Chain A
Amino acid sequence: DVKVTQSSRYLVKRTGEKVFLECVQDMDHENMFWYRQDPGLGLRLIYFSYDVKMKEKGDIPEGYSVSREKKERFSLILESASTNQTSMYLCATQGANIQYFGAGTRLSVL
């Protein structure tokens, strides 16, 4: 069974904090993705990676960075969290034509 694990289901942070969201997959997939999901806006792509140490900007990369030091792990970093980054964050991997999603991290920035 495909498994995409996001380290936290819920996270509460303060404005200005540096935030790390972790995602681990066990399928040996090369492609990994970070999305944010907001009501009425759907799934918006933040960053994606097609190999270790490789990354590409998605549609809304501002305020975010990513790290992929190992194939199975893809991290999303909020350098200085702001209230407008309060959202649901979803990680996904790509196998053949299918994207497999984690359960998401609901981040609240106060």
Chain B
Amino acid sequence: QQQVKQSPQSLIVQKGGISIINCAYENTAFDYFPWYQQFPGKGPALLIAIRPDVSEKKEGRFTISFNKSAKQFSLHIMDSQPGDSATYFCAARGRGSTLGRLYFGRGTQLTVWP
């Protein structure tokens, strides 16, 4: 059973536009929600993360919006650039999980056209 559901599977955005990727979860024991970015030929790398005690976190052009009651969170990329073209994974970690196990969404392949 998929613990974190991610959509869309692929996304095409024009340069300067806003990219939005959505994720949903069911397990209320999750307490940490990171987003990873993966470029072709590379492993994923942490992009930005949020805890459920805040509703939004912003780092440069990247923002996570978190809706605890709806059990949803999303990544917004403002002023999208061709260099943002990559695969994005949302993830969640269980509360008190000392093993650090993450549950990943299936990924979104973002293409930003110049």
With A42-B106, A99-B46, A104-B43 already in contact, the answer to whether A48 and B101 are too (CB < 8 A) is yes
B38 smallest CB distance to A (angstroms) = 8
With known contacts A42-B89, A43-B89, A48–B99 Cβ distance under 8 A: yes
| Contact A45–B89 (Cβ < 8 Å) | no
A83 CA / B14 CA spacing, docked (Å): 39
Asked whether A103 lies within 8 Å of B32 as measured between CB atoms, the reply is no
Residues of B within 8 A of A4 (CB): 43
B-side interface residues, number (CB < 8 Å): 23
What does DSSP make chain A's interface, helix, strand, loop or mixed? strand
Of the listed stretches A12-20, A60-68, A71-79, A90-98, name the one at the interface; the rest are far from the partner chain: A90-98
Establish whether residues A101 and B93, one from each chain, have CB atoms under 8 Å apart when the complex forms: no
The digit string for B79-105, where 1 denotes a CB below 8 A from any CB of A, is 000000000010001000011111011
Q: Does A25 contact B (CB under 8 A)?
A: no
Across chains A and B, the number of contacting residue pairs, with CB separation under 8 Å, is 52
Interface residues on A, range: 20 to 34
Q: Are B89 and A103 in contact (CB under 8 A)?
A: no
Query: Which of A41, A50, A90, A97 is B43 in contact with, Cβ under 8 Å?
Result: A90
Pair B44/A94 contact, Cβ less than 8 Å: no
Q: Which residues of A contact B99 (CB under 8 A)?
A: 31, 48, 50, 56, 94
| Inter-chain pairs besides A58-B101, A103-B43, 11 sampled, C-beta below 8 Å | A42-B89, A42-B104, A50-B98, A56-B99, A90-B43, A90-B44, A94-B100, A97-B32, A99-B36, A99-B100, A104-B42
Between-chain CB contacts (< 8 Å), 20 pairs? A4-B43, A40-B106, A42-B106, A43-B89, A43-B104, A44-B104, A45-B101, A48-B99, A48-B101, A50-B99, A56-B99, A90-B44, A94-B99, A97-B34, A97-B93, A98-B46, A99-B36, A99-B44, A101-B44, A103-B41
Which B residues contact A (CB, under 8 angstroms)?
6, 9, 32, 34, 36, 41-46, 49, 89, 93, 98-102, 104-107
